[in-house]
Amino acid sequence: MLAKRDIILKGVAASSGIAIGKVFFLEEDDFCVIRKDLPTRDAREIEKKRLNSAIEKTRAELRVVYTKIDEVLGKNYARIADVHLLILDDPTMKKDVYELIDSGVNAEYAVFKVIDKIVCSFEFIEDDYFRERKIDIQDIGKKIIGNLFDKQRKTLASLEENSIVVSHNLTPADTMTIREKLVKGFATDIGGKTSHTIIVAQGLSIPAVVGLKAISSQAKTGDVIIVDGNRCEVILSPTPETIAKYRKEYTLQFAKRKELEKLKNLSAETTDSHKVLIFANIDNPDEIQSVLSNGAMGVGLYRTEFIYFNRDSMPTEKDHFENYSKVAKIMSPYPTVIRTFDLGGDKLTKLGLLNVEHEKNPFLGLRAIRLSLKYPEIFIDQLRGVLRASAYGKIRLMYPMISEIEELYEANKVLNKVKQDLRRENIEFDEQMEVGVMIEVPSAAMIIDIISKEVDFVSIGTNDLIQYTLAVDRVNENVAGLYDPLHPAILRFIKRIIDESHRTGISVSICGEMAGDPHYVPVLLGFGLDQFSVSSAQIPEIKRIIRSISFEDAKKISEEVLRCGSKDAILKIMNTIYTQ
Ligand code: PEP
Ligand code: MG
């Protein structure tokens, strides 16, 4: 047996904390199609039978999807599955696959080759819409091949408690399941600094490291590993000494957290009495206890995407109402800012929203408010749920990813129509409910003087503002080094948003990850930020820092930082002021 030795892998982003435990390896969905030669006629006939039953299985699965979409969204949407059924029944495709099998190859390979040929021929179609239908064909191919393999993915459902999940990739929806399974932590090959997977992990206080590049090929089920979310590292084959060292650190951290708990009921106030508010970000109503126990003065960002994850049909108005009213009631009299769904990008559902699942540039595509305006039926259900819940607590509504003023007008038009309907139906809601937007696209930051006159508040989504301003994919570990909140362009944008919003008399929050990083607190404070909205677990440390400096000093620091032209110069200043 090989002697234990620490193998340290560095990731690009982490959810803080330490987890020590055994690996549960989660396999990828993808499969590799290999050509096998079938020399005998009998073997080929068996292969055709296998193909037929895989097609039948695929057909049955598609019918289920069709019925579900039809029930929830109506016939128009059900056509997505309908198109797939038509492709599946295409006689030419089946004939071509049969012919290939007859030439002596296995069914998986034959399907793969025929689909590939059809997809290539689509490249020459000029019409964008029809050219993109190749995706439907690829989908069908994958489904048939999957059923030919008849290989069940070792799913998250089989997860064992107290394990550490290692996978090539996890989606935010997977992360939700991880929470239910009480796993200790996770580590993945891919993922960037503010991928939603890591944000959800932070909200759930699960130690995690993403962007490790090759952990999925180095760790296997049963191995003992350490996830060090504080240093963004994973340690494979840890020696007994390393395990002991980490156990000690874990205990120290626990003690520090206990110490910080004493700040819970104190205000977030500088030494010269400048007060700000610290709110919490949540991804799920279950986090609310932790919001309260960490002393948040409200929920500054309620990400509602979770309602759409891990289910087979669209959430109903009742689902929305129940989730939001539960949080609003518990948080009352503090406010709860509910963000309308921000699906798309790295947050996909299995609900078959037309066109979204296969976009080439999903972060620049049909995401967030764009999706809401494209699918008003889904948006309306959510708005009705939010408005009805507003009768039970102090709810504020926030639209994500606004990039032009017209989108805000459009969204408000839908909102006003929903309000009219509710009035007609005699359903109670808060007529004064405030409406705000996230500023997370550079175009919105540039027209903040215009936007701020049309809303009650704004919240800066630095996760996206950084991605879109610096042209750096937030989930791509290859460019993670370029993803930097200290880029002078970002700091200037933030300052501009705060100044212009204050000029119109509205408050500004930051709900991106930047607000939860202790290093940035003095500068953001000095810029005049009104609210920090962060993961519950980060609240005590952010409060400690705010209480340890004066507003006057923070302003001087932020002025100095704004004069710097390079990230390095800014970093130097930051490092001198952060107090551990
Ligand atoms: C952001 O972009 O900063 C933000 C808070 O929204 P999300 O991370 O959900 O995109
Ligand atoms: Mg965002």
- Distance CA(1)–CA(306), nearest Å, equals 45
The pairing of strands 335-339 and 277-282 is unpaired
153: confidence class by pLDDT, cuts 50, 70, 90: very low
pLDDT over 90 at 90, yes or no: no
User: Looking at 196, 232, 320, 487, which residue is catalytic?
Assistant: 196
Continuous H helices in 332-453 = 369-374, 376-389, 405-424, 442-446, 448-451
To the nearest whole percent, how much of the chain has pLDDT over 70?
A: 89
To the nearest whole percent, how much of the chain has pLDDT over 90?
A: 58
Residues with CB under 5 A from ligand 2 (ion): 440, 461, 464
pLDDT over 80 at 282, yes or no: yes
In ligand 1, the atom with minimum distance to the C-alpha of 512 is 3
Compute the average pLDDT of residues 522-537. 96
Q: Whose CA is nearest to atom 4 of ligand 1?
A: 461
564 in catalytic set: no
For 412-426, letters b (16+ CB in 10 Å) and e give: eebbeebbeebeeee
- Distance CA(187)–CA(219), nearest Å, equals 10
274 in catalytic set: no
152: confidence class by pLDDT, cuts 50, 70, 90: very low
Ramachandran class of 366: left when φ > 0, alpha when ψ lies in -120 to 50, beta otherwise: beta
**Residue pair 262/538 in contact by the 8 Å Cβ criterion:** no
What is the predicted pLDDT for the residue at 62?
76
User: Looking at 84, 232, 320, 511, which residue is catalytic?
Assistant: 511
Is ligand 1 within 6 A of the CB of residue 398? no
pLDDT over 60 at 580, yes or no: no
The residue ranges of DSSP E strands in 268-315, in sequence order, are: 277-282, 299-303
Q: Whose CA is nearest to atom 1 of ligand 1?
A: 461
pTM over 0.75: no
The SS3 call for residue 185 is: strand
Q: Mutate which of 281, 308, 337, 438 to test ligand 1's pocket (most atoms within 8 Å of Cβ)?
A: 438
- Distance CA(219)–CA(186), nearest Å, equals 12
460 Cα–ligand 1 center, Å? 9
Name which residue leads in pLDDT, 183 or 450: 450
Strand order in the sheet with 163-167: 7-10, 233-236, 224-228, 18-26, 163-167, 185-188, 208-210, 13-15
In ligand 1, the atom with minimum distance to the C-alpha of 514 is 3
Average pLDDT, the chain: 88
Nearest-ligand number for the alpha carbon of 343: 1
Name which residue leads in pLDDT, 455 or 91: 455
Over the stretch 14-50, which tens digit does the pLDDT of each residue have? 898 999 999 998 876 555 677 788 888 888 999 999 9
Is ligand 1 within 6 A of the CB of residue 342? yes
**Residue pair 573/538 in contact by the 8 Å Cβ criterion:** no
What is the predicted pLDDT for the residue at 71?
65
What is the predicted pLDDT for the residue at 30?
54
Compute the average pLDDT of residues 492-507. 98
Compute the average pLDDT of residues 232-249. 95
pLDDT over 60 at 1, yes or no: no
363 Cα–ligand 2 center, Å? 10
Across 201-215, 369-383, 443-457, least confident range? 201-215
**Residue pair 309/373 in contact by the 8 Å Cβ criterion:** no
Is ligand 1 within 6 A of the CB of residue 199? yes
Is ligand 1 within 6 A of the CB of residue 172? no
DSSP class per residue in 455-472: -SEEEE-HHHHHHHHHT-
What is the predicted pLDDT for the residue at 181?
67
What is the predicted pLDDT for the residue at 550?
96
Over the stretch 98-149, which tens digit does the pLDDT of each residue have? 999 999 998 988 998 898 888 788 777 776 666 656 667 877 887 788 788 7
Across 169-178, 233-242, 290-299, 477-486, least confident range? 169-178
Across 94-108, 145-159, 379-393, 523-537, least confident range? 145-159
Q: Whose CA is nearest to atom 6 of ligand 1?
A: 461
pLDDT over 90 at 258, yes or no: no
Contacts of 7 (CB under 8 A, 6+ apart): 218, 235, 236, 237
Is ligand 1 within 6 A of the CB of residue 463? yes
pLDDT over 50 at 465, yes or no: yes
pLDDT over 90 at 272, yes or no: yes
Q: Mutate which of 302, 440, 473, 532 to test ligand 1's pocket (most atoms within 8 Å of Cβ)?
A: 440
Compute the average pLDDT of residues 195-211. 84
In ligand 1, the atom with minimum distance to the C-alpha of 301 is 5
Is ligand 1 within 6 A of the CB of residue 440? yes
352: confidence class by pLDDT, cuts 50, 70, 90: low
Which of 80-84, 167-171, 354-358, 400-404 is most confident?
400-404
283 Cα–ligand 1 center, Å? 11
512 Cα–ligand 1 center, Å? 5
Is ligand 1 within 6 A of the CB of residue 511? yes
- Distance CA(548)–CA(153), nearest Å, equals 51
pLDDT over 70 at 172, yes or no: no
What is the predicted pLDDT for the residue at 567?
87
Compute the average pLDDT of residues 487-516. 97
Compute the average pLDDT of residues 306-326. 91
What is the predicted pLDDT for the residue at 434?
98
Is ligand 1 within 6 A of the CB of residue 461? yes
Domains of the chain: 7-25+155-258 (3.50.30.10), 41-148 (1.10.274.10), 262-577 (3.20.20.60)
373: confidence class by pLDDT, cuts 50, 70, 90: very high
pLDDT over 50 at 565, yes or no: yes
- Distance CA(358)–CA(547), nearest Å, equals 47
DSSP class per residue in 153-168: P--GGGPPTTEEEEES
Compute the average pLDDT of residues 325-344. 96
- Distance CA(109)–CA(115), nearest Å, equals 10
Q: Mutate which of 175, 303, 369, 520 to test ligand 1's pocket (most atoms within 8 Å of Cβ)?
A: 303
In ligand 1, the atom with minimum distance to the C-alpha of 199 is 8
509: confidence class by pLDDT, cuts 50, 70, 90: very high
Q: Mutate which of 197, 199, 347, 371 to test ligand 1's pocket (most atoms within 8 Å of Cβ)?
A: 199
Name which residue leads in pLDDT, 436 or 257: 436
